[in-house]
Structure 1
Amino acid sequence: MAQNTERQPSAVVIEPLTVRISTAVQLTGISRSRLYELIQAGDLETVKVGRTTLIPFRSLKALVDS
């Protein structure tokens, strides 16, 4: 009996490019005020789109990984 050697495709995880402050609070468990402190200190990157402040997801991951 021949074995099935076909590989099942692995799940692809799609990460967002940016997240809002409220989402960053939920994802990290860091308080809103602490996130703003990290932004002021230059420890977190931000992107402004109009009046909205967005945080690049890679910047959040780097913060948590450090």
Structure 2
Amino acid sequence: MVEGTWPGIMVLIEFPDLAAARAWYASAAYQEILQLRSDHIDGDVVLVEGVGPDYDPRERSAILRVQMTEGQV
């Protein structure tokens, strides 16, 4: 974090590629329930390309928490 606060909560959803993620987000099925998420969860949706098959979100989250505690992020 460079500014603001981050509650330390992250939800990651894996897709085969960025095009599949965009298709999911634009799908009629997701658009139908989108308001359920946006009305009840204060958060952002970020589509990011580039995590490899060995990526471990729990490990990354733990590293970010340590870095935040130490003022590195």
Q: TM-score, normalised by structure 2?
A: 0.24
Task: Select the structure of larger CA radius of gyration.
Answer: 1
> By percentage of residues, which structure has more strand?
1
Q: TM-score, normalised by structure 1?
A: 0.25
